Amino acid sequence: MATTPSTTDQIAERVERLLVRHAELQRTNALLSEQVAALTQERDSLKSRLSAARSRVDALLERLPQAPPAKDAA
């Protein structure tokens, strides 16, 4: 004859499962936080590089000679 687990045993088992799940979620959250930090750093680096590139392009554009005014073809 199979014995059914007592209510206390059932609660204890469920609490154990919840604790395991909680630990898994904490690990997942830590990994995701690391990814966010890495991506934030990468984004900031790319923004800095873009700004520097824009500055160089602007400086090059300033060095270009001005185009002569267009003559009316009349």
Please say whether the dihedral angle defined by the alpha carbons of residues 46, 52, 54 and 60, taken in this order, is positive or negative: negative
- Band (pLDDT 50/70/90 cuts) for residue 53 is very high
Q: How far apart, in whole angstroms, are the C-alpha atoms of residue 59 and residue 62?
A: 5
Q: How far apart, in whole angstroms, are the C-alpha atoms of residue 9 and residue 14?
A: 9
Q: Report the pLDDT averaged over residues 58-69.
A: 90
Token readout for 51 is 């700004």
Mean of per-residue pLDDT scores for the chain: 93
Q: Is the pTM of this model over 0.75?
A: no
